[in-house]
């Protein structure tokens, strides 16, 4: 998209301390194009159909939608009226804006073609090249949090009755009123989990952050009722980083997980778990206290995801889409964290300096 007097004037109207203004300068967005190629297949022999919107502009729009927890319809409206959205996406007042259906389909294409993990890695590499994120962290911290489903956990049960509403006796001798059909919630991947005195219907989101500043390095999700212990390996594999130690709470304590870390020459930072026959020793209690002092980084990450980015409840149905939403939320979390560490020297110059004090 070419610059015009209108777009330049629009850019000057956006405050230079805006996170989006900082990110426009901080990140080399053109480097994302290789990760966004071949999302559309156009048949050129038949005219190819309508020319698709620029993939990079669409990706930026998807980031904004998750940053502000907007529906596709609200995102379309915001792209039409918000100057900071237009400036960040490289749109001018005269440019066409994708409608809500186009935005939804583009997001689904990112999921279908498995592009989100590589896009998160590209963001992290950009931040590392700017000196805002360490490349090799001392360690990584793993934990999980509960995300409620976007659907209501309704179960519909149909009973066999006759025309008068009376229970039907089955030929096999079973009791009257036996359930014949059970319709579960429309979110078939979500499950129930009781935690404390409250029951949750949804998913468990696993996040791996570095032990230096809490940048997200890997994301994984699973149904809520599945045990945390067996998902440590999957979450660990999603974290594309060099680490010397993995910290985790006692929910991940198992001989298999400890052997997995030992095999990969990763220092064991998993808390010890007491049993009825085997209480913790003084040394194990001390180790748990030391690990607890590092785990606040991932808890702070969950707080930001839920408080600022609205990830208490999923916006989509199904494990695949919930994982995708969580991944995009973690992208914007890292971008927001990085934007808070820089200050633009002068409007329009692109010069930056680290924040002090």
CATH of the domain at 278: 3.30.420.10
Asked if residue 130 belongs to a domain, the reply is no
The span from the CA of 175 to the CA of 221, in Å, is 41
Are 139 and 270 found together in one domain?
yes
Asked if residue 115 belongs to a domain, the reply is yes
Are 46 and 92 found together in one domain?
yes
Q: Indicate the number of domains in the chain.
A: 2
Are 71 and 146 found together in one domain?
no
The span from the CA of 29 to the CA of 122, in Å, is 10
Are 347 and 265 found together in one domain?
no
Closest among 159, 149, 200 to 183, alpha carbons compared:
159
pLDDT of residue 251: 93
3-state secondary structure of 283: helix
Asked if residue 159 belongs to a domain, the reply is no
Per-residue model confidence as pLDDT tens digits over 162-201: 556 555 545 444 545 444 555 567 898 999 999 888 999 9
pLDDT of residue 340: 92
Residue 59 tokens read as 């990706």
Are 147 and 93 found together in one domain?
no
Residue 324 tokens read as 């995708």
Alpha helices in the chain (DSSP H): 5-13, 19-26, 55-67, 72-81, 83-89, 100-112, 116-129, 232-238, 255-263, 282-292, 296-307, 319-339
Asked if residue 109 belongs to a domain, the reply is yes
Are 78 and 141 found together in one domain?
no
φ, ψ of residue 147 to 5 degrees: the values are: -120, 120
Are 140 and 282 found together in one domain?
yes
Are 144 and 280 found together in one domain?
yes
Are 139 and 272 found together in one domain?
yes
Asked if residue 185 belongs to a domain, the reply is no
pLDDT of residue 343: 83
267-270 and 342-344: which strand pairing? unpaired
pLDDT of residue 357: 41
Asked if residue 350 belongs to a domain, the reply is yes
Give the structural domain span for 217: 135-151+201-330
Closest among 282, 296, 298 to 330, alpha carbons compared:
298
Are 230 and 326 found together in one domain?
yes
Residues 79, 91 contacting (CB under 8 angstroms): yes
Are 228 and 88 found together in one domain?
no
Spans in the chain with pLDDT lower than 50:
1-2, 5-6, 169, 171-173, 175, 177-179, 356-357
pLDDT of residue 285: 96
Asked if residue 99 belongs to a domain, the reply is yes
Asked if residue 88 belongs to a domain, the reply is yes
Are 108 and 224 found together in one domain?
no
């Amino acid at each position: 998209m070419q610059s015009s007097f209108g777009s330049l004037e629009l850019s000057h109207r956006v405050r230079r301390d805006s996170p989006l203004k900082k990110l426009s300068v901080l990140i080399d967005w053109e480097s994302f194009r290789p990760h966004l190629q071949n999302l559309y297949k156009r048949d050129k022999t038949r005219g190819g159909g309508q020319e698709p919107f620029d993939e990079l502009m669409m990706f930026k729009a998807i980031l904004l939608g998750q940053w502000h927890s907007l529906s596709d319809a609200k995102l379309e409206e915001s792209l039409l009226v918000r100057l900071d959205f237009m400036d960040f996406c490289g749109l001018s007042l005269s440019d066409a804006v994708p409608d809500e259906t186009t935005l939804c389909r583009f997001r689904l294409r990112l999921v279908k073609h498995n592009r989100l993990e590589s896009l998160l890695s590209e963001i992290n590499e950009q931040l590392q090249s700017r000196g805002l994120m360490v490349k090799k962290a001392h360690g990584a911290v793993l934990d999980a949090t509960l995300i409620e489903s976007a659907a209501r956990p309704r179960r519909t049960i149909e009973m066999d009755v006759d025309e008068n509403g009376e229970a039907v006796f089955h030929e096999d001798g079973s009791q009257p009123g036996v359930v014949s059909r059970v319709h579960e919630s429309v979110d078939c991947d979500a499950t129930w989990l009781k935690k404390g005195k409250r029951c949750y219907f949804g998913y468990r989101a696993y996040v791996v952050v570095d032990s230096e500043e809490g940048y997200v390095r890997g994301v994984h999700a699973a149904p809520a009722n599945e045990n945390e212990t067996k998902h440590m390996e999957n979450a660990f594999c999603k974290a594309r980083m060099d680490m010397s130690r993995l910290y985790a709470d006692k929910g991940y304590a198992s001989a298999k997980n400890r052997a997995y870390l030992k095999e990969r020459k990763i220092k064991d930072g998993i808390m010890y778990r007491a049993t009825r026959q085997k209480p913790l020793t003084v040394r194990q209690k001390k180790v748990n206290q030391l690990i607890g002092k590092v785990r606040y980084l991932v808890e702070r990450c969950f707080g930001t995801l839920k408080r600022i980015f609205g990830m208490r409840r999923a916006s989509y149905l199904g494990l695949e889409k919930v994982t995708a939403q969580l991944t995009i939320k973690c992208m914007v979390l890292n971008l927001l964290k990085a934007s808070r560490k820089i200050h633009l020297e002068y409007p329009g110059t692109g010069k930056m300096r680290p924040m002090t004090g």
